[in-house]
A and B are shown apart, each in its own frame.
Chain A
Amino acid sequence: MATIEVQRQLLPILDSPNQGARFYNPELPSSEPFVPGHRTCAGCGPSIQYRMTSKAAGDNTILVGPTGCMYVANSSYLCTPYNVPWAHTQIGSAGSFTAGVAAAYEAMIRKGKWKGAFPNIICEAGDGSASDIGLASISGALYRNHDCLIICYDNEQYANTGIQASSRTPYGGMTTFSPPGPEVPEGKKLFPKDLARMMAAGHPHCYVATASVGYPIDLMNKVRKGLNHKGAAYLMVYTPCQKGFVYETPRSIDLGRLVVECGLYPMWEWNPEKRAFDYSFRPASMRPVSEYLKLQGRFGHLHAEHIATLQKFANEQWRMMGVALPEALIHATDAKNLVNMAAAAEAEAVAQTL
């Protein structure tokens, strides 16, 4: 008996004339696979990302949710925000469970046991799952090239368990596992794992990209590119957490832009056909890291020297993307030119009253 050929979906790429600007795109799909009524915090970055991602994917989609905020806060028994099939899996099973779903559909369609176009299979893993406990399972899924999209919604910490450091928590980020104190004034001493780059380097046949909730059309297009790519794709998305970052709730999208403008979240795509990074994304402006840091309580303890360290880190990111550094950003790597966060916050408060 003949094998049935697997038909795959092709989603159109949205028009995005100016990635850096805020605008409404009338082409946005009307489909809402992720609806309101869940228990995430106001301004929750991961859930804003979830809505955009699932909207970009449409209704022929299956979502996989390893343990994390997007499991615990979203899905309450007898009440679900998912309009498409969704399954919880273990925090370490992000890549493996998703691989199982993808393999099942390959076999079932091929053997005539399920009829229709291959569904979009999306895994929504937090950064704890993606960078720590589920890393091997995700690497396995990418390596084996299952037709799926694995998203790391990166809020730079284990937020659901009450704000603990993950290997994505930035240098200087205060969490309950990396608190500052007289002996450890900076709090988190380690720099974050360069997860997306590691995924691109190790699985060069995959579409890999970074994105941020600050740039919704760009995010949705990267989701669609990842889904259109036949085989595995990986997306790491900056999704601020107001509970863990300690900022004013309406500023989630602002932070999503600032983190990119400050060079702390390099935006790029890995092109698997050309085997090359695409660094063409340019934010509207480039700013010193202090502008991003001062909006967040988790950095409130940093001294000038720590801010200078973070500026050096950001400058390295710009250089990696081949961006020429303006004098001001080089100037900001010298602690003598900076003030402690407490003083900066005070200055910001004064500025707000002007």
Chain B
Amino acid sequence: MAMLADVKKRTVRINGCVASAQAAKYADVDVIAAYPIRPYTATMMALAQMVANGELDAEYIVADSEHSQLSIAHGAASSGARVFTGSSGVGVQFAYELYSPISGSRMPVQMMIADRTLDPPGDFGSEHTDALSTRDMGWIMGWSCDAQEAFDNHLIAYRIGEDPRVLLPQMVCQDGFFVSHITGDVELPDTGQVKEFLPPYKHPYPLDPRHPVSHGPQIMPEQGPPLQLERARAMEESMAVIEEVHDEFAKIFGRRYDPWVEEFMTDDADVVFFMQGAHAVTARFAIQHMRDRGLKVGLVRLRTIRPYPTDRVKDVLSKFKAVGVIETNMGIGGVSSGGVLYAEVVAALYESQKRPLVLSFMAGMGGEAIVLKEFYWMTEKMLDAQKRGKIEKRTHWVGFEE
């Protein structure tokens, strides 16, 4: 079979990894580059089965490393194929060399990441440091918090990245285990809806013998800045396309996501959590409990970190008295001596006339769940800062303090 068979909309109970594999199938990818590492492996296992069953016609390549995975993806995308790859943890790092060449050659490769803590020691748990360490390499990047959102984000990301106004690779991230291995109801669309939403991939300058082009020639130093500027502009200008594509997605699929931030119970909130990914699901519960006790707490969940919605973050967070950044990543020796998200938040707020107090919470590290009582504890810290009008401490390692 050459094209994807037509199927009708249906709801299935699958985990995040399988949801990602389903999305790749719906996108009718041509080349898949796999290499095993937990927890994202389950996505590639599902895709291997789909290819074996004849449900998806794609070249399924078991690479010899993550570096090769990304190079295969780069070569295939450069030739005009839609490609899908992925990794976790140290695997994401093993491929590091390729992130800049892929975005620099403007190839809309898509990479699924199910986060895993970096070594040492070997830890299967989710931590965002793997993907976040590549955040400035020119990839569009964002986190989903459940399987449905993961499925949707893959289709949305292909559409954005392959837009001729953008042409950038995308990292579609989900927390290892909390999303990748937790099942939930996922609505799989009609193939017709996907065809309407996602046109076939067409790179303007592929490696095609009929129209010879040279990709990536050596440059003189003075030729570097204009190319870097173009890549930076592509990322900046992708913001309008991202908004457009989310509107289009809502129209065709009936699910509307704010492309930048999800606000939860923020209307009259004094203090809010600022975070990415799966722990937001627990945060919503914790916030509901605290609201019942009369605490004015809310949640702002970042959905896209690259491009970073600076003005939006500034406008949203300026409304509050205190912001607690839940990091779930390592930024050793950085601005907050905790995680890297703090710096992004504080930098966005710098130009605001009304700046909330900002605290950095090192929580969810090493794949630990952030439990309800930790959310209550963090809320107390924020309320305390609000009451005093100043922070007691910039960074808190949650669970290691009284």
Write the nearest CB–CB distance from A173 to chain B, whole angstroms.
Answer: 27
B61–A144 touching, CB < 8 Å: yes
| B225 is an interface residue with CB less than 8 A from chain A | no
B67–A93 touching, CB < 8 Å: yes
Known contacts being A1-B2, A93-B71, is A104 close to B76, with CB within 8 Å?
A: yes
User: Complex Cα distance A88/B107, Å?
Assistant: 13
B212–A83 touching, CB < 8 Å: yes
B65, B67, B72: the one within 8 Å of A103 (CB)? B72
| A242 is an interface residue with CB less than 8 A from chain B | no
Write the nearest CB–CB distance from B203 to chain A, whole angstroms.
Answer: 11
User: Can you list the 6 inter-chain pairs with the closest CB atoms, starting with the nearest?
Assistant: A100-B75, A88-B216, A75-B217, A96-B71, A104-B81, A140-B64
Contact with A along B55-80 (1 / 0, CB 8 A): 00111011111011101111111111
B57–A107 touching, CB < 8 Å: yes
A140–B213 touching, CB < 8 Å: no
B81, B216, B217: the one within 8 Å of A107 (CB)? B81
A92, A95, A111: the one within 8 Å of B2 (CB)? A111
Give the number of chain B interface residues (Cβ < 8 Å).
Answer: 50
Write the nearest CB–CB distance from B325 to chain A, whole angstroms.
Answer: 35
Chain A at the B interface: SS class: mixed
B contacts, CB < 8 Å to A: 1-3, 30-31, 33, 57-59, 61-65, 67-69, 71-81, 83, 97-98, 101, 105, 200, 206-220, 223
| A347 is an interface residue with CB less than 8 A from chain B | no
A80–B214 touching, CB < 8 Å: yes
A107–B223 touching, CB < 8 Å: no
A62, A71, A89, A111: the one within 8 Å of B3 (CB)? A111
B71, B76, B209, B212: the one within 8 Å of A137 (CB)? B71
Contact with B along A86-99 (1 / 0, CB 8 A): 11111011011111
Write the nearest CB–CB distance from B202 to chain A, whole angstroms.
Answer: 9
A99–B61 touching, CB < 8 Å: yes
User: Complex Cα distance A144/B65, Å?
Assistant: 14
A62, A139, A143: the one within 8 Å of B209 (CB)? A62
Known contacts being A85-B213, A97-B75, A110-B57, is A136 close to B65, with CB within 8 Å?
A: yes
A97–B74 touching, CB < 8 Å: yes
| A84 is an interface residue with CB less than 8 A from chain B | yes
A82–B212 touching, CB < 8 Å: yes
| A274 is an interface residue with CB less than 8 A from chain B | no
Contacts of A114 in B (CB 8 A): 80, 208
A77, A85, A88: the one within 8 Å of B223 (CB)? A77
